Amino acid sequence: MTVPETAEKIKSMEIRGAGRIARTAAEALRDHALSLAAPDTAAFKKEMEQAAALLVSTRPTAVSLPNAVHYVMAGLDPSVNVDEARNGVIHRAEQFIQSSQHAVERIAGFGARHIRDGDVILTHCNSEVALGCMIEARRQGKEIEVFATEVRPRNQGHITIRTLNDAGIKTNFIVDSAVRSFINNVNLVIVGADAVTVNGAVVNKIGTSQVAHTAAEARVNVIVAAETYKFAPRTVVGELIEIEERPPNEVLPDEIARTLPNVTVRNPAFDVTPPEYIDLIVTEQGAIPPQMAYVIIREYLGWEIGEFNPGGG
């Protein structure tokens, strides 16, 4: 798939979910590097940077995307010949894809440890790592049951219930607004993340903060499953995560909206759950309380407070 094709598929959400978006972007950069007929390293670098910028511009919230692109592009050494520069990019892209897949597997293992036999788990949206934890728990023989939300407006819950069904997990499908009605039937919430900030706030599908708030009120633990590349280094220097606002017609058909001139449809795709509502973030490096997010950013993404690098990811 070409870079513009990949960018279009990420934008239209044919490819979605923060981990998949990151791996697909790394693949697109690898394939672009392979096929580029650049006369020299400077021209190669320029073309690669344009491709990287196009990919990063597709969806603003999932930090895994700029983190992946930054990781891959760091393999491009401008001081070597064009073939060496090409190999550098290809190598880093392969490394990212492999370590991402490995991270997803490790998180499933770590997350499953926090799931007990008989647990009833609520999940929101469609997260491969959150689902990975549940599927691994089931594989270990734990009898679990899941409540999965619908996830308006894009219905990612439909993907979630198919995956759970196929894994043989007893599942209840509910509308988003039914979370509070069922929270007392549940004893654990597990969700994924698009971004984790330095103070341990989690950015995930719109509605996650309502779910977490409801869980906190009911004293139900909330676990977030997130690879380290979902942690946002630039929040260390005070940058905020941009919340993507998607087209109104995802929520209300244009033909109805047209008849309602006084109505504005707002469609933010993500929201921010404060660290107070989160008990644990499970990463491939182990489980941490949200307050330890800075350690992940420093140790695994190599960002120190005070080392502000304007060109970095």
Q: Is 160 in the site for ligand RUB (CB under 6 A)?
A: no
Q: Please say which residue, 88 or 132, places its beta carbon nearer to ligand RUB.
A: 132
| Sole residue written with tokens 């190669």 | 44
Q: Is 23 in the site for ligand RUB (CB under 6 A)?
A: no
* Tokens read off for 283: 């990463």
Q: How far is the CB of 227 from ligand RUB (least distance, A)?
A: 7
Among 65, 69, 129, 196, binds ligand RUB (CB under 6 A): 129
Q: Is 156 in the site for ligand RUB (CB under 6 A)?
A: yes
Among 269, 278, 287, 297, binds ligand RUB (CB under 6 A): 269
Q: Is 19 in the site for ligand RUB (CB under 6 A)?
A: yes
Q: Is 89 in the site for ligand RUB (CB under 6 A)?
A: no
Q: How far is the CB of 22 from ligand RUB (least distance, A)?
A: 8
Q: How far is the CB of 74 from ligand RUB (least distance, A)?
A: 22
Q: Please say which residue, 15 or 220, places its beta carbon nearer to ligand RUB.
A: 15
Q: In this structure, are residues 3 and 24 in contact, taking their beta carbons and an 8 Å threshold?
A: no
Q: In this structure, are residues 72 and 45 in contact, taking their beta carbons and an 8 Å threshold?
A: no
Q: Is 17 in the site for ligand RUB (CB under 6 A)?
A: yes
Q: Is 149 in the site for ligand RUB (CB under 6 A)?
A: no
Among 6, 16, 27, 45, binds ligand RUB (CB under 6 A): 16
Q: How far is the CB of 115 from ligand RUB (least distance, A)?
A: 16
- Among the listed residues 125, 133, 176, 279, the single catalytic one is 125
Q: Is 123 in the site for ligand RUB (CB under 6 A)?
A: no
Catalytic annotation present for 254: no
Among 128, 150, 279, 284, binds ligand RUB (CB under 6 A): 128
Output the residue with the shortest Cβ distance to ligand RUB: 192
Q: Please work out, in degrees rounded to the nearest 5, the angle formed at the alpha carbon of residue 57 by the alpha carbons of 235 and 231.
A: 30
Question: What is the number of other CB atoms lying within 10 angstroms of the CB of residue 240?
Answer: 11
Catalytic annotation present for 133: no
Q: Please say which residue, 19 or 111, places its beta carbon nearer to ligand RUB.
A: 19
Can you give the binding site for ligand RUB, defined by CB under 6 A? Answer: 16-20, 62, 125, 127-130, 156, 192-194, 204-205, 269
Q: Which residues are catalytic?
A: 125, 194
